Structure 1
Amino acid sequence: MWVATRLLCCALLFAATAATQTFTASLTGVVTDPTGSAIPAVTVKIRNLATSEERKTQTEPEGRYTFSQLLPGSYELTAESTGFRTFVQRGITLLAAQSGALNITMQLGEVSQRVEVAAASLQLDTQSANQSVTLSQEMVKSLPTNLRSPFALVHATAGVTAPATGISQSVADQNHDRFGVNGGRATTTGILIDGVSAATGNGWNGLIYSPSVDSVQEVQVVRNTFDAQFGRSGGGVVSVVTRGGSSEFHGTAFDFLRNSNLDANTWANNRGGLARPSFQRNQFGGNLGGPIWKSKRLFFFAGYEGLRQGSPANSTVTLPTALERSGDFSRTFNPNNTLAIIYNPFSNRPNPNGAGVIRDAFPGNRIPASLLDPVGVKAVALYPEPNNPGDPITGARNYQASGKGTNLSDKTDWRIDWAKSEKHTFYGRYSRAWRQKGLPPAGIWQSYGSTGPISSNPRYQTTFGWTFLPNASWVVNVLAGHGWWNEQQRSDTYGRDGTEIGLPAAFVSQLDVPTIPQIYPENYSNISHSRDLNNKSRVDNAQVNITRQIGAHSLKFGFAAESNKTTGGGLFSADFSFSRGMTSGPVAAVNSTTSGNAIASMLLGVGSSGNVQKPALLATNRMYYAGYIQDSWRITRKLTLNPGLRYDVQRGPTERYNRFSNFHYDVANPLGSAVGISLRGGLVFLGPNSRHSWNTDWTDFAPRMGISYQVSEKMVVRTGYGIFYPAVLGTGDATGFSSTTPWVPSAGGDGITPQDLFRNPYPGGLIPPVGASLGLATNLGRGAGSFQRDHPNGYMQNYSFDVQYELSKSMIVGIGYAGNQGRKMSYGVGFNDNQLRPEYLALGNALTENVANPFFGRIVGGVLAGRTIPRHRLLREYPQFDTVSRSNQTPGGSASYNAMLIKVSKQFSSGLMFLSSYQWSKAIDNTGETEPNPGGAADGYRNSKDISIERSLSAHDLPHSFVTAFVYDFPFGRGRRFGGSLGRAADAVAGGWQVSGAVRFDTGLPVRMTAPSLISQFGFGVQLPNVSSGPDVRVANQSPDRWFNTSAFSAPAPFRVGNAPRRLNELRAAGQKNADIALLKNFRPMERIRVQFRAEAFNLTNTPQFTWPDTAFGSSTFGRVSGTRNVGPRNVQMGLKVDF
């Protein structure tokens, strides 16, 4: 007992990470005689049928027995007692994290007499309030899965959302966990493989590794888990359990093939008259499991999967026409068929009729050759010629092409299980994957964003588990894990550089990456990619979970720690942006929707923004600790309470060489005394005595309560409540040790008056990193980064109520409610704390008038270096800085979610198993998604001084969602209902047929509008248009060419913030209507060998799953849908498997 007490005390001093939780199951029940009276001191044994591992215990005085921390699998249960016949039940299937209940009724007689009970599933969850769905190994192996990722099966249950990616079709494992559960954002879902975290913990919590479906035993989706052992999530957890070896050899060999000859063409290609893109994919491999030393119960499992893919590379973009490339814009029109007049930015002069400046239009809308910038001309020449007429008015989308790129990957799984004795069992797994994405296809022009076209992603994960049973009342489980991921990306112009387009060699020599700079012309395709990425992520975790049986109480407590390390990062060439504004008129405007053209601006060399980044390659670490105690108190045979308490500690990140800095908002800045102005705010640097990016929140207590009441043998009522603290992501800012030199293409950054032209963008050179040597004077005149020092961690309050009813021995129906409230949630998007206060917008054009610069001569370089600066610069809270960027992990957001869920599940019987679920829900928040561009547009706050106006539907709001997944064996052939006496030859034709599939319907996710920002120069964020109270946003006959009523929106008045809600209920993307179906034919050439042919069709009906409409107000394609989501057209996959 003294040892147990010490263990308990130690446990409460440490922690158990949500992402590193036990995946074991438990089984409990009451042993009674024929009269219903409890029988004490009954010897109860449980044996794993695969490994022969056996445990035994004795019933308590009230007849209760309990086995905890059992590996998922199939078991045999035996009960023996003098005066009673021996009870035996085989085929008891226990799932991950399941709290099973099985009562035993003993029959009078001799112990030598046996009562064998047929296998029965433990369907009703009478021991907990957790809401979960488990896909068995048979369903995992039978359902069609494009790319054969087990995480794609998560979408086989209603209510799983992925607003940024949909069901991921990416070959890269790190993208397979980008979904949300139970109203949570994608990064708030706990991802476990064999009970150990499989997420990197980086900025978007990418997946380290995804095993092959043939190496998976089961997939479990937990919407709400009220056990205190789970944390560091929004309440949702996805758990994947891998297969282990057994006492008999078993294995699989498989080969799956996809070829474009079997596929339908894409909707966009059919519309554009393009041929079906070439595509080939081959996924092949196998696995083998069995005994290493059978008598010692030592087993192994090994699996391999390879992928070789020729990927379609489709490109539909807007390129400059031959006339535009020469400087002739006489045929360049706006969507309303008016000429987009090009104005000369070098003709600026004061507006005689009001504020601002006016410009002269170019005669004939043609730029004279004498004004063409040589670098701009060479940059435009990098574009290929358009090959498609495009829009009949604007010419948009005038380039369409398709080709084939290359992807290859290999992954292996190795697992050892050892049941050393009744007291000690061990398991270990090593998984490794390699992936290489090759060069894009030659002759296909593509527009790149932040992700490079060439990438490599080596990774691995190791796990170790040990279960120790000191006696029948104690179980100690130890888990440890280590994961590593190296993400590499490279531009396809690597090895070329800016001298190719005429940039000065002296400037190009200062860049860190030899690529052509990345160029962003508004409304046209981007050019090149500037980043070269080499990022390494490492996750180490360890945990101890201890269970103690005390009468009707099953007490569980544990602790763990997790370390998330990241080293390396991205290096850059240079970025240049060009907009319509610099060639707009007659009154010059920073943003314009009717005049000017970005290609004209590029040809003139007059840009809108840009920068050269020289980031510090940091070595960061984030530590997490937690501790929990949980009781499962079986008050009566019908009523079970599960009270628990968890304590989380999420430390702020540290950097190995103490290179973090932070913005202090209230410190007096020494520049103020030098210029005679009261200035506050400046960068402070962390050191050995204060290494964390933010102060640790020591108050994260998370109470939990679950109640389960078994109304009858067939019905149970359950309810639960819990507080959860999602993972706090992000690292820290290294301003000072890194530098960003902004391109200043206009005087004072006014976006109107040309200054540093494209031909010589950085006449003063680049800003070198200076470290902490300048103290509070660091980065004056430029940008500063900020992580909020006082950093309370966001939390979710989750609650649910549901009723389960057993319709039959194999079928169960459930209906329930689930809800949550999020508080202090991370905003999900960054914003500028140096935004002009909204009340100053009333000054109008006076804000852009140039005034004397008090910082002249003291700030060198950047937008605050000139003799004069725009008036708005001096009205900001921190006028000595350009921007003060607040991290997207800043706490302060709120969210709410309410859902009704109906679920019907049938375990395999009579040839059929299925899982059907329907959800009706609503999600509201004022926070941005942590994923890029949810809803088809960049998330952001239009006014960082008033975030309350952003409260609207969430990006993951999905009112109606229905999913059904099924596996059905046709009742034909030998041993079946029909044709049971068929001969072998006839059975080879008629027997062994099977069909499986997943069918999904939903109402579509809400989209986000954007509008050209006339106030972005004042530090305001992504802007929205105005929405009128007149015309309905919806249209009667919705089509891709008119997805919504564009006339319901208008541009905000000058110096005003748009009033459209962040997301509108009336404006949604197309709902999903998709059926993935597989037809399987099984042969048995020998008793222990099964050969299976598979034909799988994804999007069987070839229904176009339209992507987001263009919601950028002022765009030439505003209100139109130009393509489909990654569900794609109908794809057919053929497969051959041999199981033995």
Structure 2
Amino acid sequence: MFEANNPQRHFHSTLLILAILVSLAFLAAPSAFAQGTGSATLRGTVKDPKGAVVPGATVTVINERTKDERKTTSNDEGVYVFSALTPGNYTVKVEAQGFKTAEQSGLALETNSTRGFDIGMQIGQPTETVTITAGAEQLQTETGARENTITSSQINNLSIVSRSAVELLRILPGVVAPDDTALEQTGFLAGANNSAAYHVNGLRGEENNVTIDGSRMMDFGANNGSAITANPDMIQEVRVQTSNYAAEHGTSAVQISATTKGGSNAFHGSAYDYMRDHRFQASDRSNNIANPIVPKLPSKYNYPGGNIGGPVILPWTKFNRKRDKLFFFVGFEYYYQRVDEGLSRNVVPTLKQRAGDFSELLGHTDQNRIFNQFGTVNVPFGCTVNGVTAGNPAPNNNIAPCLDPFGKALLNLYPLPNYQDPNNRYNYVYSVLRPNDRNQFTSRFDYTISDKTKLYVRFAREFEKQGFPRGLWWDSSNYELPGKLQSNNLGRSVVVNLTNVVDPTMTNEVLFSASKLNLHYDYADPSKVSYSALGLQKVGFFPGNNPYVPVGVIDAWGGGIGGNLFTAYGYPIFSPYSSFSVTDNLTKVHNTHTLKFGAFIEQGNKTQQSNHDTDITVAQWGEANATGNNYGDLFVGRPIDFTQSTDRPEDHFRLYNYEFYAQDSWKVRPNVTLEYGMRAGYFPQNFERGGLGVLFDPRAYVPTQGIFINGDRTKPNGFKLAARGEIPKGILPNVPVQWMPRLNFAWDIGGKGDLVVRAGAGLFYNRVQGNYDYYSSGQMPNTYTSTVDTPWASATGLTFSDLKNVDPFSTISNVSINSRDINSNEIPRIANMSLTIEKRLPLHNILTVAYVGTEGRHLPQQMNINTIPLGRLLSGTVGNSNLSIPVNRAALDGSVLKQFRPFTAFNSVGVYQFTGTSSYHSMQATLSHQGKNLQYFA
């Protein structure tokens, strides 16, 4: 038996070892965007009855699920450490000469956690065993980080709306979660998988990082979504780290880490079905205020599934007969979801109007109009109806002789009338169930290769077929769209984790991860919208290769009849992303120091298309050449403007992330732990592999030129192109290595685990979402967008048949552009800090009170740098107008205002800058009780 040594005795030697191992890690380890692997660490001190340390004790941890054992020996300081342990419940057994064997079961190790467990030995023989009774929930004494675990018990017992355990973030302090209506369904980018909808400690949602078994799940195009759902029946627990956590955990300022369930040495399984049915829900107000009342839709959510786990036993062989080598877990769930999106009322063309007959409107004055339409329809320019010429009321409001085949086809894209309003205000009700059918499969295999080497492999697959009745993502249309727009999305993820105990003081863990999400959106019934099926010729000046008629009718301007029949995007859309990574973590125990070193490389790939397509605008602006009715204008092919793009280029973006770290968790005293470390991150620019990168450089802008230099449309004014070698493929130069120090401490006052003070601070860098780089394909000269307008008070107007004769490049004006800011090339940075006091109260309650603060710098935002300078229009003249008179300034036309902008060739110049800041300070208090029969968290 030896007395504990002075903790400062080893400090200088530890620094030397730390420096050597950091160098080795940088030279030898594979690199990556370092993040936690999900494994846990258990450490503690073996002591005799007088509190003196016991070196040389044999410490064994036994995984209660698989009965797998790991052994180590306490060092001269009496310290033992087990790293890279699979999260779960463990039994700890300690044996030493002259002492009774000590044993405790039910010791819970959580994802990405470090737990302390000191063991007091009793004098006696090793053949005698002292069973230590598990006490109340333990306070965290091994780190000063702000961390919370959503345990398996909470996942099983707390009610959730969606099918993702991530939803339970809402019970944690400092989290602002979406409301229940946003969680009704589960999808790759919907419900609780919409991770960016959770705001933690005042940070933007895109700062969150979601991993399952150490594998990143998010689409880095938006830093959002999840390739695999953290299904509550397939997930063991969720760990949430929100402030000043150790250097071994990287990526962002908020870590959300889930761990998949695994098999045990006994067979266990379950079958289940979760259901929500419309019969148990009240009607929406929008249904009840309709006259007549519209019955609520039979919405339904049904989630049948099951899982089974246990040892892998091969018949007629001796393999795994002891049930201690190979284990499996398999889960499957089907998602049947029919989502009621509520009710909205509107106007669609009547059956007669679709044939050019607007006689139903006759006899109704402007004050008594029906279906929000004026009573008279005029003959359009270029047409005569029964001797009545253009500009005069059509006989019996019938303009059938003036039909345009393309215009009539557009009119018939509207859904049919389905509602009879007694007051003839509406004839259409949108009340449609959105289908979202999914299935999820998860499997995990744990293999004990030897006493020192462990392996597990997890594979997951998730498929989704989701309908979008009113358009993709944000319901851009006021009506149900033709063709049944839907998704066929497939997510896959595989993780391979290999842990090797090099010697009793050194453990190495390697994790390989690959995730892929294919997002594919198209019409389920193309015959409803394809040119060929409708027997139409392609229309426009840039007809391109799109096989579909443009469902882009905008009718909400200038007092339109109803709303927009508008998809907002061109289809089909194919937008896959993939992530491949490798992580290596090395743990070395030296005296009272637990040293960790690691590195992680990630390659990310993203493919997507420009969103530009075709928009057609109709509006009642008193045009003498048209019919005076928007539906009539469509029928005769008279839009007020027509917008079309040349093509929809396909981006192929790639990024690499490299991070390295070194840290020390030092037991300064038996009841004081100090964690300090450094992370180094190198984040090269996200680059488009085909050279589509575009940058607007104000210094290259020539004021005497127009949109194009010398009229050459391949040379937009002020633009620099990666394809010509004028800028890097990543648009801007790569930024230097970023350094992220971390420091925290935990002080167990009194050493009894009843009152703990924790504090710390850390610096975090997080790569911005890819959407800030994906603008390039939609910019000139990769694609061109032109708008042809009907001149005001034009006698002839614009027809669909005119478009083929238009020079689209002569009509390119009022161009708005997007670009990275050449003067802003930073990476968003978050500094966070916390001070926590935690106290055990009577009746197994725990009170936690904390200060938590975050400071954000270099946050992304978009700024229009082409605004008129403040005060520029307060004096001077334009023509004969005196600008000092407010009414003259208000009357200035947009084309006149252009001359006062810095870049007169363009309308707006939106540049993505990293100039935003944020500041958040809070007090967070919780009272929790985690008993066998009672749990609460307030």
User: Corresponding residue for 2:285?
Assistant: 267
User: Corresponding residue for 1:34?
Assistant: 49
Q: Distance in 2 between matches of 1:391 and 1:555?
A: 77
- The CA deviation string for residues 100-139 of structure 1, in whole angstroms up to 9 with x for no partner, is 1122111111111111012235521111122222122232
2:231 corresponds to 1:212: yes
Q: Distance in 2 between matches of 1:655 and 1:675?
A: 28
1:533 positional shift: 0.7
* TM-score, scaled to structure 1: 0.67
Is contact 1:584-1:597 (8 Å) kept? Answer: no
Would the alpha carbon gap of residues 491 and 715 (structure 1) be closer, same or farther in structure 2, given more than 3 Å must change?
same
Would the alpha carbon gap of residues 492 and 605 (structure 1) be closer, same or farther in structure 2, given more than 3 Å must change?
farther
Q: Give me the CA root mean square deviation.
A: 4.3
3-state SS of 1:743 partner: strand
Is contact 1:821-1:896 (8 Å) kept? Answer: yes
User: Corresponding residue for 1:870?
Assistant: 895
Would the alpha carbon gap of residues 98 and 845 (structure 1) be closer, same or farther in structure 2, given more than 3 Å must change?
farther
**Equivalent of 2:492 in 453, 460, 483:** 460
2:707 corresponds to 1:667: no
Q: What is the letter of the counterpart of residue 731 of structure 2?
A: S
Would the alpha carbon gap of residues 597 and 108 (structure 1) be closer, same or farther in structure 2, given more than 3 Å must change?
farther
**Equivalent of 1:478 in 503, 510, 518:** 510
Q: Distance in 2 between matches of 1:371 and 1:399?
A: 27
- The CA deviation string for residues 411-460 of structure 1, in whole angstroms up to 9 with x for no partner, is 1111111122232111111101111125859xx99537999831110120
Q: Distance in 2 between matches of 1:4 and 1:634?
A: 16
Is contact 1:664-1:681 (8 Å) kept? Answer: yes
3-state SS of 2:273 partner: strand
Would the alpha carbon gap of residues 892 and 746 (structure 1) be closer, same or farther in structure 2, given more than 3 Å must change?
farther
User: Corresponding residue for 1:75?
Assistant: 90
**Equivalent of 1:648 in 681, 687, 711:** 681
1:312 positional shift: 3.5
| 1:872-887 alignment runs, 5 A limit | 872-887=897-912
Is contact 1:201-1:729 (8 Å) kept? Answer: yes
Is contact 1:802-1:814 (8 Å) kept? Answer: yes
Would the alpha carbon gap of residues 228 and 600 (structure 1) be closer, same or farther in structure 2, given more than 3 Å must change?
farther
Q: Distance in 1 between matches of 2:348 and 2:795?
A: 23
Would the alpha carbon gap of residues 810 and 759 (structure 1) be closer, same or farther in structure 2, given more than 3 Å must change?
same
Q: Distance in 2 between matches of 1:804 and 1:258?
A: 39
- The CA deviation string for residues 313-360 of structure 1, in whole angstroms up to 9 with x for no partner, is 5441432686999496976679xxx9999999x99xxxxxxxxxxxxx
| 1:376-391 alignment runs, 5 A limit | 379-380=410-411, 382-384=413-415
User: Corresponding residue for 2:787?
Assistant: 743
Q: What is the letter of the counterpart of residue 743 of structure 2?
A: M
3-state SS of 2:587 partner: strand
2:437 corresponds to 1:408: yes
Would the alpha carbon gap of residues 19 and 404 (structure 1) be closer, same or farther in structure 2, given more than 3 Å must change?
farther
Q: Distance in 2 between matches of 1:153 and 1:728?
A: 26
User: Corresponding residue for 2:936?
Assistant: 914
User: Corresponding residue for 1:1051?
Assistant: none
Would the alpha carbon gap of residues 223 and 668 (structure 1) be closer, same or farther in structure 2, given more than 3 Å must change?
closer
1:548 positional shift: 1.2
Is contact 1:248-1:290 (8 Å) kept? Answer: yes
The worse-fitting range, judged by mean Cα deviation, of 869-878 and 465-474 is 869-878
| 1:81-480 alignment runs, 5 A limit | 81-120=96-135, 122-162=137-177, 167-175=182-190, 176=193, 177-178=195-196, 179-233=198-252, 235-272=253-290, 273-292=293-312, 293-295=320-322, 297-312=325-340, 314-319=342-347, 326=358, 374=404, 379-380=410-411, 382-384=413-415, 399-438=428-467, 440=469, 447=479, 453-480=485-512
Is contact 2:22-2:662 (8 Å) kept? Answer: no
| 1:703-782 alignment runs, 5 A limit | 703-712=741-750, 713=752, 714-730=754-770, 731-732=773-774, 733-734=776-777, 735-736=779-780, 738-745=782-789, 757=798, 759-760=800-801, 762-764=803-805, 782=815
3-state SS of 2:733 partner: coil
1:637 positional shift: 1.9
Is contact 2:601-2:657 (8 Å) kept? Answer: yes
Is contact 2:217-2:226 (8 Å) kept? Answer: yes
2:923 corresponds to 1:900: yes
Is contact 1:89-1:117 (8 Å) kept? Answer: yes
- The CA deviation string for residues 574-621 of structure 1, in whole angstroms up to 9 with x for no partner, is 1224567x4599xxxxxxxxxx99779868945367333512112110
Q: Distance in 2 between matches of 1:389 and 1:847?
A: 55
Q: Distance in 2 between matches of 1:792 and 1:343?
A: 58
Q: Distance in 2 between matches of 1:165 and 1:211?
A: 18
3-state SS of 1:458 partner: strand
Q: Distance in 1 between matches of 2:52 and 2:230?
A: 48
3-state SS of 1:245 partner: coil
Q: Distance in 2 between matches of 1:848 and 1:607?
A: 31
User: Kindly, what percent of the aligned residue pairs are identical?
Assistant: 23
Would the alpha carbon gap of residues 380 and 514 (structure 1) be closer, same or farther in structure 2, given more than 3 Å must change?
closer
Q: What is the letter of the counterpart of residue 12 of structure 1?
A: F
Would the alpha carbon gap of residues 537 and 825 (structure 1) be closer, same or farther in structure 2, given more than 3 Å must change?
same
User: Corresponding residue for 2:592?
Assistant: 552
1:480 positional shift: 1.3
User: Corresponding residue for 2:888?
Assistant: none
User: Corresponding residue for 1:1027?
Assistant: none
Q: What is the letter of the counterpart of residue 251 of structure 1?
A: G
Q: Distance in 1 between matches of 2:500 and 2:652?
A: 37
2:640 corresponds to 1:607: yes
How many residues align? The count is: 848
User: Corresponding residue for 2:78?
Assistant: 63
Would the alpha carbon gap of residues 386 and 780 (structure 1) be closer, same or farther in structure 2, given more than 3 Å must change?
closer
1:729 positional shift: 1.9
**Equivalent of 2:722 in 664, 677, 685:** 685
Is contact 1:686-1:692 (8 Å) kept? Answer: no
Would the alpha carbon gap of residues 448 and 59 (structure 1) be closer, same or farther in structure 2, given more than 3 Å must change?
farther
Q: Distance in 2 between matches of 1:174 and 1:895?
A: 26
The worse-fitting range, judged by mean Cα deviation, of 164-173 and 241-250 is 164-173
- The CA deviation string for residues 635-691 of structure 1, in whole angstroms up to 9 with x for no partner, is 112222111211222211222222322222212549749889xx9722333467832
* TM-score, scaled to structure 2: 0.80
Q: Distance in 2 between matches of 1:135 and 1:881?
A: 52
1:902 positional shift: 1.4
Would the alpha carbon gap of residues 137 and 162 (structure 1) be closer, same or farther in structure 2, given more than 3 Å must change?
closer
Is contact 1:456-1:487 (8 Å) kept? Answer: yes
Would the alpha carbon gap of residues 184 and 652 (structure 1) be closer, same or farther in structure 2, given more than 3 Å must change?
same
3-state SS of 2:789 partner: coil
Would the alpha carbon gap of residues 369 and 813 (structure 1) be closer, same or farther in structure 2, given more than 3 Å must change?
same
Would the alpha carbon gap of residues 333 and 144 (structure 1) be closer, same or farther in structure 2, given more than 3 Å must change?
farther
Is contact 2:760-2:834 (8 Å) kept? Answer: yes
1:781 positional shift: 7.9
User: Corresponding residue for 1:814?
Assistant: 848
Q: Distance in 2 between matches of 1:870 and 1:210?
A: 51
Is contact 1:756-1:763 (8 Å) kept? Answer: no
Q: Distance in 2 between matches of 1:646 and 1:143?
A: 37
Is contact 2:553-2:564 (8 Å) kept? Answer: yes
Would the alpha carbon gap of residues 846 and 754 (structure 1) be closer, same or farther in structure 2, given more than 3 Å must change?
farther
The worse-fitting range, judged by mean Cα deviation, of 649-658 and 305-314 is 305-314
Q: What is the letter of the counterpart of residue 231 of structure 2?
A: S
3-state SS of 2:858 partner: strand
1:907 positional shift: 1.7
| 1:863-1012 alignment runs, 5 A limit | 870-887=895-912, 890-909=913-932, 911-916=933-938
3-state SS of 2:903 partner: coil
1:699 positional shift: 4.5
Q: What is the letter of the counterpart of residue 86 of structure 2?
A: L
